[in-house]
Structure 1
Amino acid sequence: MNNLPAKKTFSDEQVIEKIMLLFWQNGYYHTSMDEIVATSGVKKQSLYNALGDKHTLYLKALQCYHQRALAACTQAMQQLEQAGDSPLTVLLMLYSRDLNQPNQPTGDLIANAVAEFGATDTDVKQATDRFYEDYLTLMASVILKGQANGTIMTSESSMALAQSLLEARIGLQTRLRQGSQPDLAQRQRAWRTFLQR
């Protein structure tokens, strides 16, 4: 009698990406396990065995979003730099990147997680903190380049400016999630004027 476990017929990464989009669209509390199962295309028990319960899946979705978003930002930064764009242009791309894309849910999964959980869930807070630390580091590194070549103001530190810009981005994400349609181009112009030397 063959007691070997059944061979897994799905890719963890592809399943997590589908579930990530579901959480991004609906939020954690408005997503049921039945919806997760239907979206994943994997039987409930197989999903539990391979990837864990709803909370574990949510943490995996946050990690997936983190990796995808940071990789996309890094690639976009490199393309702009190779094309000869200024650090300020690169920075403003990071400020407004993917805020209002027609082919994806509104806002940003990380900002949505902060809005839903605040500091009530230690694991979620650690995941969102890690993402913001990485995003902050990206922004600060670009600001440093601009300060070094004299195109970005130096009266504030690169980290202080990055923090202000990141907090403004999070605020925009919240407004978008509420159904507002802020003028992103106008916000970019205002930040450009403020940050230029």
Structure 2
Amino acid sequence: MKHLPAKKTFSDEQVIELIMRLFWQNGYYHTSMDEIVVTSGVKKQSLYNALGDKHTIYLKALQRYHQLTLTACAQAMQSLEQAGETPLTVLMMLYSRDLTRTDQPTGDLMANAVAEFGASDATVKQATNQFYEDYLTLLASVILKGQANQTIINTEASMGLAQSLLEVRIGLQTRIRQGQQPNIDQRQHAWRQFLQK
């Protein structure tokens, strides 16, 4: 009589989100497979069978973070636009969103991945590049709207302005991760003054 494989009793997405927060808190190299097993609440062999090894799980965590973050950004943008907010207000939300939240690990999982791996791991680099390209696209699309209705300066191309904003955001996330407390409101004010037409 053949033995049927054990039925999986957990949701991949929920488990990945738990592990994602662990990697976000501790980083890749400071997270052991044993900690992943404890955090997930899934037996090691079941975890390997369902999700792969530590590196594969990390890539899935990056992918999930990408998905959750971009979905949340799009929803927040839509809410602000429906409420009649200006493109500049929407842009400042994208620039500063989640920087001061205390209910999640500090910094940004993608910025942490870049800090840990640099360009040494092609698959991690591809995941972080894709995330930043998508975030850039969101920023640039809002800047274009503001330039079209003449509320945001058009002396610079939308993508160039978006790139500058994103790089400052990544820098702020890194500073916050180091335990610094930059004044986000002050920086937002400076950017508003610069970007307003």
* Pair in the same fold by TM > 0.5: yes
Cα-to-partner distance string for 1:4-49 (whole Å, 9 max, x where unaligned): 1010011101000000000000000000000000000000010001
For 1:93, the equivalent position in structure 2 comes to: 93
For 1:170, the equivalent position in structure 2 comes to: 170
Q: What is the CA–CA distance in structure 1 between the aligned matches of 2:190 and 2:114, rounded to whole Å?
A: 26
* Aligned counterparts, 1:36-185, within 5 A: 36-185=36-185
C-alpha deviation, 1:76, in angstroms: 0.1
Q: What is the CA–CA distance in structure 1 between the aligned matches of 2:185 and 2:78, rounded to whole Å?
A: 22
Q: What is the CA–CA distance in structure 1 between the aligned matches of 2:85 and 2:111, rounded to whole Å?
A: 28
C-alpha deviation, 1:77, in angstroms: 0.1
Count of residues in Structure 1 that have an aligned counterpart in Structure 2: 197
- Aligned structure 1 segments of 4 or more residues deviating by more than 4 angstroms: none
Q: What is the CA–CA distance in structure 2 between the aligned matches of 1:98 and 1:185, rounded to whole Å?
A: 13
1:26 partnered with 2:26: yes
RMSD: 0.5
Cα-to-partner distance string for 1:43-81 (whole Å, 9 max, x where unaligned): 001000110000000000000000000000000000000
What is the TM-score with the length of structure 2 in the denominator? 0.99
Partner amino acid, structure 2, of 1:151: T
Q: What is the CA–CA distance in structure 1 between the aligned matches of 2:4 and 2:92, rounded to whole Å?
A: 54
3-state SS of 1:179 partner: coil
Partner amino acid, structure 2, of 1:153: I
CA contact (8 A) 1:37 1:47 kept: yes
CA contact (8 A) 1:111 1:174 kept: yes
CA contact (8 A) 1:100 1:107 kept: no
Q: What is the CA–CA distance in structure 2 between the aligned matches of 1:97 and 1:117, rounded to whole Å?
A: 25
Partner amino acid, structure 1, of 2:142: V
Partner amino acid, structure 1, of 2:58: Y
C-alpha deviation, 1:150, in angstroms: 0.4
C-alpha deviation, 1:3, in angstroms: 1.4
Partner amino acid, structure 2, of 1:17: E
CA contact (8 A) 1:37 1:43 kept: yes
3-state SS of 2:106 partner: coil
C-alpha deviation, 1:99, in angstroms: 1.1
Q: Percent identity?
A: 79
C-alpha deviation, 1:2, in angstroms: 3.6
Q: What is the CA–CA distance in structure 2 between the aligned matches of 1:60 and 1:91, rounded to whole Å?
A: 28
Gaps in structure 2 of 5+ consecutive residues: none
Q: What is the CA–CA distance in structure 1 between the aligned matches of 2:100 and 2:111, rounded to whole Å?
A: 14
Partner amino acid, structure 1, of 2:125: K
C-alpha deviation, 1:188, in angstroms: 0.3
CA contact (8 A) 1:66 1:131 kept: yes
